């Protein structure tokens, strides 16, 4: 409390509060002493019961960004009904569920926060992120779409009850929606195909691990007109035919980032042809998780990826083919000077080293001056090449 008053005060912009500090006295102090607080995270994830909020009369009123980490068993309504009148200026809302804590055995699911009431209190939302919430379904998407006409980004990653039945209404109401992230949801092909994609402004789409049919993927990718970022990995239906049709009948000319992680039904030849045609515009490319995509393909397309900022390659699966990592790193350094992030995910047993390893690392360090992230499965490659 003394820190809020004495050290932070009007200078505080961002704050994360664990469960034990989410009390009406702390929130009252923040409301009165921190008028410029715009970002707050409230972590209820480990809570077994809430504090008493009956005496709570104030809450920060200038919040633009709020993140709430939900508990599996604690109902939030006692707290939420006290803050509804203070959060109508929110533009970004994150609700983080308990997906990672869910056990394999089916347990009773509780709707621990009333999303229908929450959406009525937050009409100015531009970004909504519902992550790993086991009770969220299409009715909750419809609720936000009915009251958030300014919505630009919706993320429902790992919300297993989402089938896509709400998508037509979502795009009809939220004309400004540019980003839709639906990783590992239960999308049904017929619901996805019912959307008038050609009339949307969608630029960023994640449908990884959603088990859509080949027909649906083809229909979707040929009707999107402004796509810039596509994550479509772990899709058995994504094959050479889909990629070829997307290239010839779709509109990949604006595509700058592509993630095809674990797309085992894509051939090396189809990927090569697609990258040859559009690789020069890519800023990010991920072809990880595919044992048949080796350093041979990467070495052949690297001269086309001169604008790449992010490259992700390799698989943790054991491979019979060895990867000549020194030559690959040297080729990356020679062609991708703008690179900021590089991940080599091959198993250490798959990588073949030489006495030129240190030289390759030094080359990428000197030539890729913007490189901020280097991910290697084998630390010994850097320490003892």
Tell me the pLDDT of the chain (385 aa) as tens digits.
566 766 777 889 999 999 999 999 999 999 998 999 999 999 999 887 888 898 899 999 999 999 999 988 789 999 999 999 999 999 999 999 987 655 554 567 788 999 999 999 999 999 999 999 999 999 999 999 999 999 999 999 999 999 999 999 999 999 999 999 999 999 999 999 999 999 999 999 999 999 999 999 999 999 999 999 999 999 999 999 999 999 999 999 999 999 999 999 999 999 999 999 999 999 999 999 999 999 999 999 999 999 999 999 999 888 888 888 888 999 999 999 999 999 999 888 888 876 665 777 888 889 999 999 988 876 555 544 4
pLDDT for residue 383: 43
CA dist., res. 99 & res. 321, Å (int): 36
pLDDT for residue 106: 54
Q: Which residues lie closer than 8 Å to 54 by C-beta, 6 or more apart?
A: none
pLDDT for residue 360: 77
Closest CA to 120 of 71, 80, 68, 174: 80
| Cα–chain center distance at 234 | 15
Q: What are 323's two structure tokens?
A: 């990867």
Q: Which residues lie closer than 8 Å to 242 by C-beta, 6 or more apart?
A: 214, 217, 218, 221
Q: Length of the chain, please?
A: 385
CA dist., res. 58 & res. 78, Å (int): 14
Beta bridge partners of 205: 180, 230
- E strands within the chain? 14-17, 39-43, 65-69, 92-96, 127-131, 153-155, 179-181, 204-206, 229-231, 257-259, 284-288, 310-314, 323-324, 341-344, 351-352, 373-376
Q: What are 372's two structure tokens?
A: 């901020």
Helix (H, G, I), strand (E, B) or coil at 284: strand
């Amino acid at each position: 409390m003394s820190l809020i008053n004495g050290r932070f005060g009007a200078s505080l912009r961002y704050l994360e509060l664990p469960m034990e500090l989410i009390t009406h006295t702390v929130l009252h102090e923040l409301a009165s002493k921190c008028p410029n607080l715009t970002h707050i995270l409230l972590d209820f994830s480990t809570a077994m019961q809430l504090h008493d909020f009956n005496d709570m009369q104030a809450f920060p009123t200038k919040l633009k960004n709020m993140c709430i980490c939900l508990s599996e068993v604690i109902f939030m309504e006692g707290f939420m009904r006290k803050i509804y009148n203070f959060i109508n200026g929110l533009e970004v809302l994150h609700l983080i569920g308990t997906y990672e804590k869910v056990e394999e055995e089916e347990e009773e699911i509780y709707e621990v926060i009333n999303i229908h009431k929450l959406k009525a209190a937050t009409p100015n939302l531009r970004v909504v992120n519902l992550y790993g919430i086991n009770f969220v379904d299409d009715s909750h998407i419809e609720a936000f779409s009915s009251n958030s006409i300014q919505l630009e980004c919706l993320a429902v990653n790992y919300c297993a009850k989402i089938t896509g039945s709400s998508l037509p209404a979502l795009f009809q109401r939220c004309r400004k929606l540019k980003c839709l992230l639906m990783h590992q949801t239960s999308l049904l092909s017929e619901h996805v195909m019912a959307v008038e994609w050609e009339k949307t402004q969608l630029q960023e789409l994640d449908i990884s691990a959603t088990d859509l049919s080949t027909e649906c993927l083809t229909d979707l990718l040929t009707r999107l007109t402004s796509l810039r970022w596509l994550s479509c990995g772990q899709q058995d239906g994504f094959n050479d035919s889909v990629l070829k049709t997307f290239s010839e009948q779709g509109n990949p000319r604006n595509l700058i980032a592509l993630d095809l992680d674990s797309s085992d039904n894509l051939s090396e030849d189809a990927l090569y042809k697609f990258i040859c045609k559009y690789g020069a515009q890519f800023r990010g490319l991920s072809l990880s998780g595919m044992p048949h995509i080796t350093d041979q393909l990467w070495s052949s397309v690297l001269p086309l990826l001169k604008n790449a900022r992010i490259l992700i390659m390799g698989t943790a699966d054991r491979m019979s083919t060895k990867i000549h990592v020194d030559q690959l790193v040297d080729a990356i350094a020679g062609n991708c000077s703008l690179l900021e992030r590089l991940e080599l995910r091959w198993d250490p047993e798959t990588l073949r080293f030489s006495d030129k390893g240190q030289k390759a690392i030094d080359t990428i360090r000197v030539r890729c001056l913007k490189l901020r992230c280097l991910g290697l499965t084998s630390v010994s490659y850097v320490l003892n090449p």
